[in-house]
A = this chain, B = another copy of it.
Amino acid sequence: MGMSGGELIEYRPLSEEYAYTFGGRAAVRRVRPGDLVSLYTEDCFGGVVRDVTDLPSAVCNFPYLNPVTGPFHVEGAEPGDTLALHFVEIAPARDWAVTTTLPHFGALTGTHTTATLQEPLEERVWKYEVDAAAGTVRYRASRSDFTVELPLDPMHGTVGVAPAAGEAKLTITPDAHGGNMDTPELRAGVTVYLGVNVDGALFAIGDGHCRQGEGEVTGAAVEAAMNTVVAVDLIKGVGTPWPRLESDGHLMSTGSARPLEDAFRISQHDLVTWTAGLTGLDTLDAYQLVAQAGQAPVGNVVDTNYTMVAKVAKEYLGGPVAYDGVHERLRALGRRYLSGR
């Protein structure tokens, strides 16, 4: 198992082991490049919202939301390197999932920063049935008998490393270190690249979603505990300014900021400069190509920073190889793991 004798490390946190910050926490395990890590993540509510009567304001312990599993110390990782985390599998751990409106959270309400004097929205919980075999989640309206099946499309809202310079950021915050980006693009089969800021990188993962609309407009997705397998690798001496994603067909850059146009600018700027480097195109030529060939899938427009993704098909770039082909290698590793178990 693994790339070069890599191990399979299994880890299920005890309830007191969850982290609520990136940074400021000691590692729960040490892993090596080439290892596979099989881990369990709790949902963003810490698993205490279990039915439509469990209002978060009553059952959650604010601000201790969005627990992450980790951090994991990656041996050999140093500032200036890039950590590659390939998501081999993201599997819902239960046959239900929950979501909610929150009184001062979400895109269509005043919040603690978009401060208004209006009455808050009603806090309400919805519970979804998860049918992993059928590949669906079932929505049920709370005030009528309307119901519909939506495709199961598991993802992690939160993945990141420790920030630089002694910072510790709440796990609800997305930024250059990763964190709560809440992009549906972060699904199985995708490799995430994160710039390393501290020795060991100290990555952590959480906030599984059975599916999420673009923007996560209510502030919560179809929230679920997950059994997740990631393959770990390290690109030495190559930095990554903002989290990047690679799928079989696409390169993606993320940006997390406010206002939303700055998240867009960061993501597009990174994709332009990244692809210019990969293709040898002059910067304005890369800008031009991304402008006509690119997509801009929205991550979240609700968190403490908003997240945008800039995305381009590799075929429109002449099929460049990023990070010396680590995605293809981890993808193959993941397939071997899945077929071999």
Binding site for B on A (CB under 8 A): 20-21, 23-25, 63-64, 99, 101, 107-110, 112-122, 124, 126, 137, 139, 141-144, 146, 148, 150, 164-170, 211-218, 220-222, 255, 257-262, 264-266, 268-270, 272, 279-285, 287-298, 301, 306, 308, 316-318
Contact = CB atoms under 8 A, between A and B. Distances in A.
22 contacts: A21-B165, A23-B168, A25-B166, A64-B165, A101-B284, A108-B115, A108-B117, A108-B269, A118-B118, A137-B292, A141-B288, A142-B284, A142-B288, A144-B281, A144-B285, A148-B316, A150-B292, A213-B292, A213-B296, A217-B287, A217-B294, A259-B261
Contacts of A260: 259-261, 264
A99 to B, nearest CB: 7
Contacts of A101: 284, 287-288
A-B CB proximity, top 6 nearest? A259-B259, A115-B269, A260-B260, A143-B282, A214-B296, A218-B291
Contacts of A289: 139, 141, 148
A120 B265 CA distance: 16
B265 A142 contact: no
Given A20-B166, A258-B258, A120 B117 contact: no
B292 A222 contact: yes
Given A169-B167, A298-B264, A293 B257 contact: no
A323 B289 CA distance: 39
A166 B21 contact: yes
Tell me if A's interface is mostly helix, strand, loop or mixed: loop
Nearest to A218: B291
Contacts of A20: 165-166
A308 B108 CA distance: 15
A121 B117 contact: yes
Contacts of A258: 257-259, 261-262
Contacts of A211: 292
Contacts of A143: 281-282, 284-285
Interface centre among A117, A144, A262, A285 (most CB of B within 10 A): A117
A213 B291 contact: yes
Contacts of A306: 261
Nearest to A118: B118
Contacts of A293: 139, 148, 150, 213
A146 B279 contact: yes
A37 to B, nearest CB: 24
A116 to B, nearest CB: 5
Given A119-B119, A288-B101, A280 B144 contact: yes
Nearest to A256: B113
A267 to B, nearest CB: 9
A293 B152 CA distance: 11
B285 A141 contact: yes
A268 B110 CA distance: 14
